[in-house]
Structure 1
């Protein structure tokens, strides 16, 4: 029987650059755009002589790239061999499979469980990966069809549309697909979905169903913690560095306030790259001191996350981070001062948004009334919508959140200028300032490391349409992304079969 798991993309609202260093926190929102992994056996039964096999078959299918890869995986060493020298590798999925199977071996100490695991593996692993359209840029396709850059045009594309190559040779031949992305963390969501689906398929965890993944107090469980550890390990090794991990944490647990783990916890995994057997490494990683912090956080009620794709060309996050680190070394005092001011601004925004959530809980009728009224006015008129002390407290928190974001943006621009990288380029500044001056807009900014990839906005009530119209006039494509605070979950079936509105026919996966 097939197992389907999904994990969300993310938007890092605050904490860009700072989140790389403990104990700085970042506010990361998970989204309704999800990556799906479908795992099922390749073979119906196991042959009589299969117990003597040293290798198992692994099949990886990516329908959106029209790509299918076959591997042989060593049962002893958990290493991969490509069946064809010409096939392109996917290091994130390959590491996810290796680390997940190693984790299953490490956790199952009883012979009976190990026998069941081995039996499952000998039937082969058939893995299909699918990403929602919002992970990728479809501007070229929309423009090629003569459609306007609107959410409606984006919504008219079939779900899980094909991802085309952005680079052509002089004779029109296609090179290796250079996929244009929107910065939602596709590699982290994909890795997490594959790890979660495999752990579920191999009987190691019980994933939550979509109805049980909404925030209810404390984030996490032992099963999700295992998914997190394995996914973080695989993702870091695949990308060749130990990052902050906020994207994987959001993919596992959903929207949160996040403080990174100490990089030393993955020192064992880094040794595996140099030849140490993965089976020896994984137990150390699982038992390691994962000291990251994740606490419940999501946008206050009646607030909406919007994401726009300016189409000004992508930005390289690693090179931008490298430039900022170089600047920190060359001007330590100035960097430390900017770091401190950014941390204060981030903390202030978190404080004001938490206050709004609290006011919504305690004074819902007043909160709802004030938010809906403010959604129809520019921020300069918000205080006029408050008729009592509670209403004034709500507007004070709204204006406090705006001030905090303006302060954060100012210092991020300063840091970019000092480091010589476009954290908030001038074109983005003009766009964000115009966005923040629209009725019902609480805040706007560049997510994560900044650059040209995307902009985000948070709106009040039903004011989102005003933004999408303005963004379209600026050549910005409004994506269909919204905040969804849930993390990884078990799905009931192939998501393509569930998209009734699409032209994609239902397929059997069991």
Structure 2
């Protein structure tokens, strides 16, 4: 049945790739990716209350894209025959492909009577507003300019969806190309997924209000968002960021690149509706298993203030090294894979032990949270406690191994996967009381670092980071993926955030 749903808000989370950096690019290597409470929101509503009489003849739909944080408003014409967008304004390829592919999916999946209703809905125009939580972007400069300390409290004093500053030096003094410092949470994947989800729901292709009971709808969102994101990037990445934006925290093994590369080739010849129909029927062979941090553990992210890194160029350097020194690279990847598997096993063990006897688990975690790791073994006075401590120590040892081999890989490839400044920060963090993990997420470099703490130990880490000029972000693990923000109080925050902003 065709659903006419006005003014819908969908959201998708940012991510932290805890293990699997670089390896996740190749099957069958797995990565553990945590979704976060940092979300991108997409609001969709009609531009016009009713279809203008002459609209049917023209077969063009109006599309308006508003990005209040960048003070941007872009207008498009959507051809209902070719499903292509035309605009003379600055472009956002991620949103453009999201719109085109979501509309094509609607025409592909709906039958004839529903297609008439779909066309009528499109002729009322698509008014799309996108907003990203502050955590996706660096606001260090604004905090320092206000004379505030580098603390989460200072970050939380900023209004929701604070305007993003442009780096004018890199854009020729013009605000035409926004060069913004990001924190590495996967803003393009979260944004693309949110837009696709909100449009597919608005156009009646999926029903996200009962999404937990119907994974087929999420699969549709995933296939369209994954394709749109890859085409917008101009390459077929591993897709872990889109997968976590759709499904939430998980253990992920990538899909075969052929699934989407066939779409890249087909786009040059076949009508878009046919291409998207093939995508929806393709054999998607990615693997995902539910994953979450064990209970009483907190994910922290810290922004060191050295600016982000270019993931594509770092990946390119690693691939070049793999070709030039295959024997060493294969051995390094094998050891990295072993370390990743060991960490995953220990974390799963801890989750299982928590389920078996939560009271014992809680006591051990609380005791270890006040001690450096070399004293954790002394906490165990009986066998049930010893198993928990053994897994905690095992997880920490695995993290040291992973970091060691990531550094070696970076040195061999000539790129700063774990730069010296990050190494010093991470070593001091790992030595603190109640810290089980610390590392550079994903491809590494100068993006935000992560830590995982036990019990109430996070407060001490945040304070220590602040003293080292590291800004602890307001990011925590949130295992949820795509959400329809229907009766959620955040939907009101989003709507009020939009209405309070003026587009220049």
TM-score (norm 1): 0.94
Q: 1:405 aligns with which of 399, 402, 413?
A: 399
Stretches of structure 2 that go unaligned for 5 or more consecutive residues are 1-5
Provide the secondary structure at the position in 1 that maps to 2:38. strand
Provide the secondary structure at the position in 1 that maps to 2:127. strand
User: How far does the alpha carbon of each residue in 1:198-256 deviate from its partner, in whole angstroms, 9 at most, with x for none?
Assistant: 000001111146xx75xx9xxx7100000000000000000000000000000000000
CA contact (8 A) 1:167 1:175 kept: no
State yes or no: 1:35 paired with 2:40.
yes
Provide the secondary structure at the position in 2 that maps to 1:382. helix
State yes or no: 1:391 paired with 2:391.
no
State yes or no: 1:119 paired with 2:120.
yes
Alignment RMSD (CA, Å): 1.9
State yes or no: 1:186 paired with 2:187.
yes
State yes or no: 1:319 paired with 2:313.
yes
State yes or no: 1:138 paired with 2:143.
no
Taking the aligned partners of 1:494 and 1:302, their CA distance within structure 2 comes to: 25
User: How far does the alpha carbon of each residue in 1:347-372 deviate from its partner, in whole angstroms, 9 at most, with x for none?
Assistant: 00000000000000001000001001
Q: Give the aligned partner of residue 49 of structure 2.
A: 44
Q: 1:74 aligns with which of 75, 79, 104?
A: 79
Aligned-pair distance for 1:384?
A: 1.4
Task: Call closer, same or farther: CA 1:277–1:469 in 2, change over 3 Å.
Answer: same
Aligned-pair distance for 1:52?
A: 2.0
Q: Give the aligned partner of residue 219 of structure 2.
A: 225
Q: Give the aligned partner of residue 90 of structure 1.
A: 92
Q: 2:326 aligns with which of 329, 332, 346?
A: 332
CA contact (8 A) 2:39 2:190 kept: yes
Q: Give the aligned partner of residue 432 of structure 2.
A: 438
Task: Call closer, same or farther: CA 1:503–1:240 in 2, change over 3 Å.
Answer: closer
Provide the secondary structure at the position in 2 that maps to 1:61. strand
Q: 2:336 aligns with which of 318, 342, 350?
A: 342
User: How far does the alpha carbon of each residue in 1:246-277 deviate from its partner, in whole angstroms, 9 at most, with x for none?
Assistant: 00000000000000000000123202443432
Aligned-pair distance for 1:46?
A: 1.1
Q: 1:307 aligns with which of 292, 301, 311?
A: 301
Q: Give the aligned partner of residue 484 of structure 2.
A: 490
Q: Give the aligned partner of residue 417 of structure 1.
A: 411
Task: Call closer, same or farther: CA 1:28–1:48 in 2, change over 3 Å.
Answer: same
Taking the aligned partners of 1:198 and 1:118, their CA distance within structure 2 comes to: 14
Taking the aligned partners of 1:420 and 1:339, their CA distance within structure 2 comes to: 16
User: How far does the alpha carbon of each residue in 1:357-405 deviate from its partner, in whole angstroms, 9 at most, with x for none?
Assistant: 0000001000001001111111111111122101110000000000000
User: How far does the alpha carbon of each residue in 1:293-319 deviate from its partner, in whole angstroms, 9 at most, with x for none?
Assistant: 000101000000000111112211000
Aligned-pair distance for 1:80?
A: 1.0
Task: Call closer, same or farther: CA 1:456–1:413 in 2, change over 3 Å.
Answer: same
Provide the secondary structure at the position in 2 that maps to 1:137. coil
Aligned-pair distance for 1:173?
A: 5.7
User: How far does the alpha carbon of each residue in 1:424-447 deviate from its partner, in whole angstroms, 9 at most, with x for none?
Assistant: 011100100000011110110000
Q: Give the aligned partner of residue 456 of structure 1.
A: 450
Q: Give the aligned partner of residue 3 of structure 2.
A: none
Aligned-pair distance for 1:473?
A: 1.1
CA contact (8 A) 1:497 1:506 kept: no
CA contact (8 A) 1:22 1:259 kept: yes
Taking the aligned partners of 2:113 and 2:172, their CA distance within structure 1 comes to: 58
Task: Call closer, same or farther: CA 1:175–1:288 in 2, change over 3 Å.
Answer: closer
Task: Call closer, same or farther: CA 1:13–1:169 in 2, change over 3 Å.
Answer: closer
User: How far does the alpha carbon of each residue in 1:449-475 deviate from its partner, in whole angstroms, 9 at most, with x for none?
Assistant: 000111000000111011111111111
Provide the secondary structure at the position in 1 that maps to 2:208. coil
CA contact (8 A) 1:165 1:175 kept: no
CA contact (8 A) 1:496 1:506 kept: no
1:146-161 aligned at under 5 Å gives the runs 146-161=147-162
Provide the secondary structure at the position in 1 that maps to 2:168. coil
Q: 1:279 aligns with which of 265, 273, 293?
A: 273
TM-score (norm 2): 0.95
Taking the aligned partners of 1:270 and 1:503, their CA distance within structure 2 comes to: 37
Q: Give the aligned partner of residue 11 of structure 2.
A: 6
Taking the aligned partners of 1:158 and 1:92, their CA distance within structure 2 comes to: 26
Aligned-pair distance for 1:141?
A: 0.5
Q: Give the aligned partner of residue 461 of structure 2.
A: 467
Runs of at least 4 residues off by over 4 Å: 169-175, 493-497, 502-507
After superposing the two structures, state which structure 1 stretch, 277-286 or 136-145, moved more. Answer: 277-286
Aligned-pair distance for 1:79?
A: 0.9
Provide the secondary structure at the position in 2 that maps to 1:499. helix
User: How far does the alpha carbon of each residue in 1:126-158 deviate from its partner, in whole angstroms, 9 at most, with x for none?
Assistant: 000000000000011001111111101001000
CA contact (8 A) 2:171 2:177 kept: no
